[in-house]
Amino acid sequence: MNVGLIGYGAIGSLLYDLIGQYAPGVRVRAVYDRHEYRGDNKAVGADTWIVDRVDDFLAADLDLVVECAGHEALRDLGPSVLKTGCDLLVASVGALADPLLESLLGDAAKNGRACLRIPSGALGGLDALGAAKFAGLREVRYESHKAPGAWRGTPAEDRVALDDVMRSTVVFEGTAREAARLFPKNANVTAAVALAGIGFDQTRVVLHADPLATGNTHRIKAEGDFGQIDVSVTGKTLPSNPKTSMLAPYSLVRAIANLNQTLVVG
């Protein structure tokens, strides 16, 4: 199976290595990376092309494309990938909080007979949440606890004096759509929860700056006719990007590896 990567930053370059370790039979055929973002430390194998032209990337005979370059890249390239009939695995799930982009990607996938794939990312419990939607799901709440430093460069700085936070403090409370729009680098997981469950406008989100946080904690609480779900994951962050949970790229490689497996769980 030939895979193409959109983006070769912290997530893309790590994913390239993980595919080699955990996805036998999968070859990274092409990497789309804008010239100004390339670096000498981002070496790839001789059989992998690094291109900065979309046409060259799409002509690489790919079975799957993985987006790991951010919301703008997904908006610019996602519809074109799906229209060619190539499945698209999305890291920047929060971009789908834009209803226009969600519609464009959905239409492109339908027209190209392709699949838009959403990984579980740093979360646990999305499989149970998706099953609960069929069994009767009424309420979904997502909560996040991250160290104050993880919220720098976000609207949280305008709401809370991060340097003065002494205890867990709410920096945002609202819908998943609002959270994904305001915190695109911190709250991609809220979009995954919304898509698996009851939607962007019905899913409630609470984000905390927590000086006692030792990693990124993600908690899903849901209830309905099926019963209750309460799932919490505390994960370490990527050393190269403290806003990203370490499980995020591992979730991507799991999704890729599953495509070639005869036994798939979850």
Spacing of C-alpha 94 from chain mean position: 7
pLDDT in tens, the chain (266 residues): 999 999 998 899 999 999 999 999 999 999 999 765 555 445 678 789 899 899 999 999 999 999 999 889 999 999 999 999 999 999 999 999 999 999 999 999 999 999 999 999 889 999 999 999 999 999 999 999 999 998 999 999 999 999 999 999 999 999 999 998 898 877 789 999 999 999 999 999 999 999 999 888 999 999 999 999 999 999 888 887 766 788 999 999 999 999 988 888 87
Q: Is 218 a catalytic residue?
A: yes
d(Cα 26, Cα 172) in Å, to the nearest integer?
Answer: 40
What is the assigned CATH class of domain 126-244?
alpha beta
Query: How do the domains of the chain map onto residue ranges?
Result: 2-121+248-258, 126-244
Among 33, 31, 21, 16, smallest CA distance to 62 is for 31
> Residue 47: how many CB atoms within 10 A of its CB?
8
Residues 6+ apart with CB under 8 A from 36: none
Cα end-to-end span (Å), the chain: 22
d(Cα 102, Cα 191) in Å, to the nearest integer?
Answer: 11
**Confidence (pLDDT) at 35:** 60
What per-residue string of b and e applies to 22-44 under the rule 16 or more CB within 10 Å gives b?
ebeebebbbbbbeeeeeeeeeeb
d(Cα 191, Cα 193) in Å, to the nearest integer?
Answer: 5
User: Is CATH 3.30.2350.10 what the domain over 2-121+248-258 is classified as, yes or no?
Assistant: no
**Confidence (pLDDT) at 41:** 45
Q: What is the DSSP letter of 116?
A: E
d(Cα 146, Cα 219) in Å, to the nearest integer?
Answer: 12
**Confidence (pLDDT) at 42:** 59
Q: Full-prediction pTM beyond 0.75?
A: yes
